[in-house]
Structure 1
Amino acid sequence: MRIKLQQKEFYQGIQTVRKAVSSKTTLPILSGILLKTEKGKLKLVGTDLEIGIECYVDTGIIQDGSIVLPAQHFANIIRELPNQEIILSAETSNNTAQIKCGNSQFNIHGSPADEFPLLPEIDSGTIFTVEQQKLKKIIEQIKFATSKDENKPFLSGGLLLLENKDIKLIATDTYRLAYKEDVTDNKKSDLTKAIIPNTTLQELTKLLDNKEERVEVILTDNQILFKFSGISVVSRLIEGQFPNYKQVIPDASETEVSVDTKELLQATKRAALLAKEDSDIIKINFNEDKLIITSNAPEIGQAYEEVPISLLGQETEIAFNAKYVLDALKVISDEEVNIKLSGPLAPGVIETSSEQKYIYVIMPVRSA
């Protein structure tokens, strides 16, 4: 193989697929990136067998070929080269590559391309499209609520639901639940569901752009494919039964509050500074026209914050994990949020009133 291409585009492509490269693997080939000339471009592929990412980089092909190069050293080399034309040559006889750029030259040992696992070909299944910016927002509003409990793998991802024109994504770690619903302009379809691993959701938000260009999604029984901006992300799905999220969302409340999102976010951030010394616990007292947030660090001091509100129903007090409250408020773009409560020991609900429904259920904590 012998190709020439620009350093900036080359490095961007490497960084894109590197997100899927395995850092801990018993298969050395998986710590590398596949480079292969295809369709007049250079195809780059990274995979850890759970998620695979593929992209194409514009290149001048002098001679077709392929090789697998170690991701970390390869990326570091390309990153430090000047933004000029790079000439990369690979010899299949000894699996080595030569990288030339300006006055720099590197020789790097690789592996045979035919040993690299192929990404699955997915061209049929449930197919729908959604805007990049919409999908990015949907994922960002739920991904933090996935569980890290390895004994419950079905909670370590987000439940994707497609029903009629609605797209829903739900995540829970049993301490809180995040639910996001939006609409697509796809044709109506029967109920389709899948659990997408958190690692896939995390990498997607890094790759998706805030633009209207659409993402094509193809869903099969055990895999899901996302295609956008010349990038393909394929991931396995998680097996298992996701909990009945509808049973978790309270259908009634004794206290309803409307509050400015930014004001509540900033006040909670400040109160959380001392809450860290007390298991991240903050107390919130809901009065007629204000809520009061307090936190206590026995050896340091106390925090007190007031935020104006509009209250309907009973005054009440409840304690939450500050981090859990902040996780939700940080990803809500609405100017106001509604908080619904049914007592100090019942789950609290933070939700938006916009058509793109967002519901966040959070379990209270007991405090002295």
Structure 2
Amino acid sequence: MKITIERAELLAAVGHAQSVVERRNTIPILANVLISADESNATFRATDLDVEVVDRANAVVERAGATTVNAVTLHEIVRKLPDGSTVSLTEDGASGRLSVSAGRSNFSLATLPKEDFPEMASQDYQSEFSLPAGALKRLFDKSEFAISTEETRYYLNGVYLHVADANGKVLRAVATDGHRLARIDAELPMGAEDMPGVIVPRKTVRELKKLLADEEAVIGVAVSDTKIRFRAERLTLTSKVIDGSFPDYTRVIPTANSKTLEVDAKDFSRAVGLVATVSSERSRAVKMKLDEDRLVLSVNAPDAGQAEDELAVAYDDEPLEIGFNAKYLEEIAAQVDRENAVFLFNSPGDPALVREGGDETAVYVVMPMRV
């Protein structure tokens, strides 16, 4: 194999590969990227056996072939090469090495046999559809923060993507860690009606962001009970889904909350972050004290001090005092794209519902704390 490729093109391809491979593993081939070249282009494939990414890069192919090389090492070399340089990758079958050269820089890297490189088994997908990258990005970006990091509750370690009924069928993403919940809806794409509900793992959600960088692109999605595949013009990301049942999230979304607070999302986020600087790192509890058109955010940390900030808001219900984890409030406020965040409360012991203005396609729930 011998190919010539622009540094920027190679850096993007190897960057996608090295972010998928596991740094520590007992199977050496899983640290490698499979580089394949045919008459027309080059592909870079990497996997950790749960997630597989394939990048089709523009390259001049002088000799077809394939080999595998350490993804992290190749990425570091390419990253440090000068901008605008042209890189030549040449496999020497006799020595079992891959030659990497650019200008006066030359490297000879150890390889492993391409036959040992695992590929995800292909299968029939039950549902295939397409939707704009921007719509898919919104679903995952706005729900990712609520994914649980508690490994024992593995079924919460991802985003539940499924078809739901909300005055008509919608494509819905839900994530929760038991303390906060995000529920995001998008218009149901044609062909997605019979899609099985799947839990997309946290690592896949993170890798998916690279594929969705161009929000104008159209992304092909294929779903089965065990796998999900996202395909853009250049990148294909295939992932196993979490084998488990997502809990009935509808039971924790309050429907009787009637006390409504409307507040500027950026002002609210700033004020929460400001008063939380003196709160305990263990709990980061912030008290919200509400009366007519007035919100007072306060923290009382005996070991550190006290803090208070006041905001003008829209609120005309009975006075209310309720506490929340400051980190959760900041993360929810950060999701609000519209000018105002709308909080709906019931009592100090009940979860709060949060919306982005009048938009009901994005709903957040946060559990209260004692303060």
Q: TM-score, normalised by structure 1?
A: 0.95
Kindly indicate whether the alpha-carbon contact (under 8 Å) linking 2:96 and 2:111 is maintained by their aligned counterparts in 1.
yes
Name the counterpart of 1:330: 334
Q: How does 1:71-82 map to 2 (within 5 A)?
A: 71-82=71-82
Q: Which aligned segments of 4 or more residues in structure 1 are displaced greater than 3 angstroms?
A: 353-356
SS at the partner of 1:25?
coil
Take 2:71 and 2:194, find their aligned partners in 1: how far apart are those partners? 42
Deviations 1:166-206 (A, max 9, x none): 11000111111111112144257246311111111122124
Instruction: Work out whether residues 183 and 356 of structure 1, in 8 Å CA contact, stay in contact via their aligned partners in 2.
Output: no
The residue number in structure 2 matching 1:126 is 127
| Between 158-167 and 35-44, the greater mean CA deviation after superposition | 158-167
Change (3 A) 1:108 1:57: same
SS state of the match for residue 16, structure 1?
A: helix
- Give structure 1 stretches of 5+ with no counterpart: none
Q: Percent identity?
A: 27
Instruction: Give the Å deviation of 1:355.
Output: 4.3
State the secondary structure of the residue aligned to 1:345: coil
**73-82 vs 90-99, which moves further:** 90-99
Q: Decide which of 225, 228, 241 is 1:221's aligned counterpart.
A: 225
- Please identify, of 306-315 and 350-359, the stretch whose mean Cα deviation from structure 2 is larger: 350-359
Equivalent residues in 2 for 1:145-156, closer than 5 Å: 145-156=146-157
Aligned length: 367
Q: Distance in 2 between matches of 1:210 and 1:256?
A: 37
Listed as ranges, the matches of 1:4-153 within 5 Å are: 4-38=4-38, 40-82=40-82, 83-122=84-123, 124-153=125-154
SS of residue in 1 equivalent to 2:262 = strand
CA distance in 1: counterparts of 2:240 and 2:191, whole angstroms: 25
Residue by residue, what CA displacement relative to the aligned partner does 1:234-255 show, whole Å, maximum 9, x if unpaired? 0001111111111000111141
For 1:342 and 1:78, how far apart are their aligned partners in 2?
A: 56
Match of 1:255 among 237, 256, 259: 259
Instruction: Give the drift of 1:352.
Output: 2.1
Tell me if structure 2 keeps the 8 A contact 1:342–1:348. Answer: yes
Q: Residue 358 of structure 1 corresponds to which residue in structure 2?
A: 362
Bigger Cα displacement from structure 2, 13-22 vs 52-61: 13-22
Query: Contact 2:259–2:344 (CA<8 Å) still a contact in 1?
Result: yes
Q: Contact conserved, 1:254 with 1:343, CA < 8 A, in 2?
A: no
Determine if contact 1:350/1:360 at 8 Å carries over to the other structure: yes
* Structure 1 pair 38–288 and aligned structure 2 pair: CA distance change class (3 A): farther
Code of the residue aligned with 1:78 in structure 2: it is V
1:208, distance to aligned residue in structure 2 (A): 1.4
SS at match of 1:209: coil
Q: Return the letter of the residue paired with 1:91.
A: D
SS in 2 for 1:313: coil
Q: Which residue of 1 aligns with 2:299?
A: 295
Query: How far is 1:120 from its partner?
Result: 3.2
CA distance in 2, matches of 1:168, 1:349: 17
Decide whether the 8 Å contact of 2:99 with 2:106 is kept in 1.
Answer: yes
- The answer (yes or no) to whether the contact 1:268–1:322 under 8 Å persists in 2 is yes
What are the superposed Cα offsets for residues 287-332 of structure 1, whole Å, 9 maximum, x if unpaired?
1111110012323322111111112432211111000111111121
Q: Deviations over 1:324-347 (max 9, x none)?
A: 111111121011111011111111
State how far apart, in whole Å, the 2-side matches of 1:66 and 1:210 are: 29
C-alpha contact (below 8 Å) 1:130/1:216 kept by paired residues: yes
- CA offsets 1:236-281 (integer angstroms, 9 cap, x no match): 0111111111100011114111111111111112112122456211
Alignment-mate amino acid for residue 97 of structure 2: T
Query: 1:76: how far off?
Result: 0.8
- Aligned residues of 1:10 and 1:57 also touching (Cα < 8 A): yes
Q: Between 143-152 and 85-94, report the one with greater CA deviation.
A: 85-94
Select which of 181, 185, 190 maps to 1:186: 190
Residues 314 and 205 of structure 1: CA distance in aligned 2, closer, same or farther (over 3 Å): farther
In the alignment, is the contact (CA less than 8 A) between 2:39 and 2:61 conserved in 1? no
Unaligned runs of 5+ in 2: none
Aligned amino acid, residue 102 of structure 1: G
Measured in 2, the distance between the counterparts of 1:165 and 1:9 equals 40
Match of 2:173 in 1: 169
Whether contact under 8 Å (1:16, 1:207) holds in the other structure is no
Query: Which is further off, 349-358 or 243-252?
Result: 349-358
